[in-house]
């Protein structure tokens, strides 16, 4: 489990209203300076071998620490436990939760001096292979059909990895002319779901498939007869709540310092979903794809000397709205931009003529303004 996924798991636990498991090992370390000398010996035995402290009896623990059994009881109460039984229960819970972080990562070889090199690239390749093997092409086609027919699409994702994947889905699909938005806040998910109608579509992304907020938002959207696609792990509650299921299970590498590899599989599914939707849309998708609109520079007068250079500069400044590349525009907006530029050229034609006239005077020095401009240009030169 990585930091990116811990947010999703923690929100899942909060949704289930479970009590937080205390980190009794950290509590022992924090309270160590306040303990009596005999109690510190018990703490040393516990911290030295946590598994032994869980399995050992009260007498065995006292014998190894060289203290009496009542001292072990006083130690347990000093760190906030009700007694030895309560201490061992919390210690066992901490051991189960923290076992992944307490264990050393498996040894790997690396010729370049970085033992994690092969692990990162190898896990990424394995995740893509698992996605290719497990993904159902029929479900992918159904999902593409729902996206192509949808009036609007909303993507739900909560937590580090899933929220980033939700945004990625939006970036992939909007350029095909699809009306799509991504929601990564649990309250906005519910509010958005309550506004959906028949013909709308929800894409729910969750690495675990157990995130309560996402499941509830999908169920609310289904109540208002919107369709739903799940991008998640197989045989989960989220998968069962959706109409179409794009699922993949990728076992994680047992190294807490390495980012989760399952996101590569989910990114591959999102790419496949985007391409399949584009092929379903075909004409509209190609028409809605971004076009980089560029206009060639208009011819300007190339005078000689300093004044001629000024004329060319004035021409370039005046022509700037026509020569700069326009922002990425799609479909109808391209035609609107062309019409807008035509009108700009129409209404600025008199001013353009005046600029050219001033440029000629500046080049020839035939009026007071031209003479002043020529003197200034010569001084600058």
Please provide the DSSP assignment of 278-313 as one string: HHHH-HHHHHHS-B----PPPP----SHHHHHHHHH
Cα separation, 124 vs 133, whole angstroms: 14
DSSP string, 135-151: --HHHHHHHHHHHHH-S
Q: Taking a C-beta distance cutoff of 8 angstroms, is the pair 193, 167 a contact?
A: no
pLDDT (mean) for 262-281: 91
At residue 8 the predicted structure's pLDDT band, cuts being 50, 70 and 90, is: very low
pLDDT of 315 over the 70 cut:
no
Average pLDDT, the chain: 75
CA distances from 60 to 57, 68, 72, 73 (A): 5, 10, 10, 13
Tokens 């007068």, residue located: 301
Q: Give Cα separations from 148 to 4, 136, 183, 273 (angstroms).
A: 31, 19, 20, 11
Stronger pLDDT, 365 or 204, i.e. the higher one: 204
Q: Which of 40-44, 127-131, 293-297, 364-368 has the lowest mean pLDDT?
A: 293-297
pLDDT computed for residue 152 by the predictor: 94
Identify the top-confidence range among 191-195, 280-284, 339-343. 191-195
Q: What pLDDT is recorded for position 362?
A: 54
Q: Of residues 6 and 189, which shows the higher confidence score? A: 189
pLDDT at 251: 73
For 176-200, letters b (16+ CB in 10 Å) and e give bbbebebbbebeebbebbeebeeeb
Structural domains of the chain, ranges and CATH numbers in brackets: 17-102 (1.10.10.10), 117-288 (3.40.50.10490), 305-380 (no CATH)
Taking only the tens place, the pLDDT of each residue in 217-253 is 999 999 999 999 999 999 999 999 999 999 998 876 5
């Amino acid at each position: 489990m990585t930091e990116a996924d811990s947010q999703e798991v923690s929100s899942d636990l909060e949704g289930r209203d479970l009590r937080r498991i205390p980190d009794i090992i950290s509590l022992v370390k924090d309270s160590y300076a306040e303990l009596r000398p005999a109690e510190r010996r018990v703490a040393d035995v516990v911290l030295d071998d946590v598994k032994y402290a869980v399995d050992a009896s009260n007498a065995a623990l006292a014998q190894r620490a060289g203290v009496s059994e009542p001292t072990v009881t006083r130690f347990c109460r000093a760190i906030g436990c009700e007694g030895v039984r309560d201490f061992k229960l919390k210690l066992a819970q901490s051991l189960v939760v923290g076992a992944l972080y307490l264990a050393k990562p498996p040894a790997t070889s690396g010729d370049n001096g970085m033992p994690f090199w092969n692990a990162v690239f190898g896990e990424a390749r394995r995740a893509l292979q698992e996605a290719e093997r497990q993904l159902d092409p029929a479900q992918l086609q159904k999902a593409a059909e729902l996206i192509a027919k949808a009036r609007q699409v909303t993507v739900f994702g909560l937590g580090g990895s899933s929220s980033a994947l939700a945004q990625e889905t939006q970036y992939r699909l909007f350029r095909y002319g699809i009306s799509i938005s991504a929601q990564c806040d649990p309250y906005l998910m519910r509010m958005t779901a309550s506004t959906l109608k028949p013909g709308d579509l929800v894409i729910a992304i969750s690495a675990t498939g157990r995130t309560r907020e996402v499941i509830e938002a999908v169920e609310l959207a289904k109540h208002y007869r919107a369709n739903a696609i799940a991008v998640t792990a197989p045989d989960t509650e989220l998968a069962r709540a959706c109409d179409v299921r794009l699922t993949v299970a990728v076992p994680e590498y047992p190294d807490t310092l390495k980012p989760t590899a399952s996101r590569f599989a989910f990114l591959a599914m999102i790419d496949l979903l985007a391409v399949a939707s584009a092929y379903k849309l075909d004409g509209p998708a190609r028409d809605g794809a971004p076009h980089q609109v560029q206009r060639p520079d208009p011819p300007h007068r190339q005078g000689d000397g300093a004044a001629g250079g000024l004329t060319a500069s004035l021409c370039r400044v005046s022509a700037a709205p026509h020569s700069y590349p326009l922002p990425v525009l799609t479909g109808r907006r391209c035609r609107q931009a062309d019409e807008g530029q035509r009108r700009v050229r129409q209404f600025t034609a008199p001013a353009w003529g005046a600029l050219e006239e001033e440029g000629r005077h500046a080049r020839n020095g035939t009026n007071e303004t031209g003479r002043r401009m020529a003197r200034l240009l010569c001084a600058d030169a």
